[in-house]
Amino acid sequence: MKVRINGREEIIDEEMTILSLLNSKGINPSMVVVEYNYEIPDKEKWDSILINGGDNIEIIKFIGGG
Amino acid sequence: MIDESDLLRYSRQILLKDVGYEGQEKLLNSRVLVAGTGGLGSPVLYYLAAAGVGTLGIVDFDVVNMSNLHRQILHFTDDVGKNKVDSAEEKLKKLNLGINVIKHAVRLNENNIENIVGQYDVVIAAVDNFSTRYLISDCCYLMNKPLVEGAVLGFEGILMTIIPNKSPCYRCLYPIPPEPGKVPTCNDVGIIGMVAGTIGSLQALEAIKVILGIGKTLSGRILTFDGLNLNFRTIDWKRKSNCPLCGKNQVKK
């Protein structure tokens, strides 16, 4: 199914959660926050939110240097 | 009143219809706190001093190190070993004697931050660690001070402008600090100077927009910058209803 990830359309498998999406991309979940359809869900919900076709996902890294 | 030499100094920005004479007076009467005089703080301070922001507070407890110089453009080779606030003040005064520089050579903590932040209209977070970012963000929210929050790492940067009670806050994005040691720092993975210059320049721009009330600030949007692939993106975001800081059941005090 088609979703939008960081502004780009991508095809991902059905039945994916936010957590499995991060895992499939090799992204360490402790290094990012995720905006899901313009809301920022709590991290504890990442493995229970099922991604639907057309969803908008932003994966934003923790950046704190100066 | 702006004197004659200042009229000349600021003439090209007074020409801007969004600034004008009144805007320049506003800048000269404004007070901005810049926390950190490193890779971000250097360009922030340079541009704000050049633009005639009348009072600049600078916070840094650190001394200039040789490994700072590739990105921290307010500090020169001769400054290695000096307090960063002294090194920064020296350059800012050479650039523009018409502004006040207030030095806070301290490490921000829960006991001193309110007294320092309370003296300023706008705060710019240009620090190098998460614990100070959370401290500044929480304090600015509770004291109702606009905060321009910028951060860099490697070739990437992130920027947001936080207007308390109007825009989402830092904790709406990052509700709790990352686990210590899990997220790399500039000391671990490096930082390219130009990326700090880019984000720092944008922080200064956001600050003067907030002061002048012009244009559309980044509040309600997050800007991410990937310098390696030269990609700027802005992401719309909303307040988090259960944000630990600005949410309905706030737990932070």
pLDDT tens-digit profile of B52-77?
999 999 999 999 999 999 999 999 99
> A53 to chain B nearest CA, in Å?
20
Each residue's pLDDT tens digit, B146-188: 999 999 999 999 999 999 999 999 999 998 888 888 888 888 8
List Cα–Cα distances, A19 to A12, A46, A54, B152, B181, in angstroms. Answer: 13, 5, 18, 25, 21
Helix (H) / strand (E) element for B14: namely helix B11-14
Q: Do B151 and A65 touch (CB under 8 A)?
A: yes
Q: Which of B216, B207, B208, B148 is CA-nearest to residue B24?
A: B208
Does the beta carbon of A9 lie under 8 angstroms from any beta carbon of chain B?
A: no
CATH classification code of A2-61: 3.10.20.30
Q: What is the mean pLDDT of residues A3-17?
A: 95
Pick from A58, A47, A43, A36: which is nearest to B179 by CA? A43
What residue spans define the domains of chain B?
Answer: 4-236
Collect all residues of chain B within an 8 Å Cβ-Cβ radius of residue A28: 182
ipTM, 2 decimals? 0.91
- Taking one residue from A and the other from B, the number of pairs with CB-CB distance under 8 angstroms is 76
Q: How far off is chain A from B2, nearest CA to CA, in Å?
A: 34
Does A62 sit within 8 Å of B130, measured CB to CB?
Answer: yes
What are the domain boundaries of chain A?
A: 2-61
Q: Does B29 touch chain A (CB under 8 A)?
A: no
Catalytic residue among B139, B186, B243, B246: B186
> Do the Cβ atoms of B173 and A33 come within 8 Å?
yes
CA-nearest residue of chain B to A37?
A: B237
Selection from B113, B103, B110 nearest residue B41 by Cα: B103
Residue in chain A lying closest to B174 (CA): A33
According to CATH, the topology of domain B4-236 is Rossmann fold (3.40.50)
Kindly tell me if the per-residue pLDDT of A8 is higher than 60.
yes
- On average, the pLDDT of chain B sits at 95
The nearest CA of chain B is from the CA of A59 a distance in Å of: 10
Q: Are the beta carbons of B110 and B65 closer than 8 angstroms?
A: no
- Taking CB atoms and an 8 Å cutoff, what residues of chain B touch A6? 233
Could you tell me what percent of chain A has a pLDDT over 70?
100
